[in-house]
Amino acid sequence: MSVEVTGEQPGPGYFFLDSDEYSLSIGTELDVAAYFTDESGLTSLVTKETVFTVDDPNIVSLDEAGNIRGISPGITYITAAYNGLTYRASVWVVRPYQAL
């Protein structure tokens, strides 16, 4: 069996997001940052090269730049993929605070 690898591979290292869980209110936005740390310990921001997906688009919208927008209350997960590596984080959306 032969295997052909195309494109630049990151090599050994660790891919991660800036948080394991995110929380926001309906109608608010926040941005996600993705990082890759190589085996020498050098950490690079790789958000622009990362592909983001969301499990439940009824709870949050997520664009290709990693910007999350709360749509309805609930919990869902986002997955970030970078050069064959993935990272998963939870997203909690709550109703905005309203004073009584």
pLDDT digits (tens, 9 = 90+) for 21-75: 999 999 999 999 999 999 999 999 999 999 999 999 999 999 989 999 999 999 9
Q: What is the pLDDT of residue 96?
A: 86
pLDDT at 6 exceeding the cut of 90: no
Total number of domains in the chain: 1
Residue 75 forms part of a structural domain: yes
Q: Which of 73, 95, 82 is nearest to 32 (CA)?
A: 82
pLDDT at 9 exceeding the cut of 80: no
Residue 65 forms part of a structural domain: yes
Residue 1 forms part of a structural domain: no
Residue 68 forms part of a structural domain: yes
Q: What is the CATH number of the domain that holds 76?
A: 2.60.40.1080
The pTM assigned to this predicted structure is 0.82
Check if the beta carbon of residue 93 is closer than 8 Å to that of residue 25: yes
Return the bridge partners of 78, or none.
Answer: 54, 89
Check if the beta carbon of residue 55 is closer than 8 Å to that of residue 76: yes
Q: Tell me what the mean pLDDT of segment 70-91 comes to.
A: 96
Residue 17 forms part of a structural domain: yes
Please report which confidence band the pLDDT of residue 12 belongs to, taking 50, 70 and 90 as the band edges. Answer: confident
Structural domain for 38, as ranges: 13-93
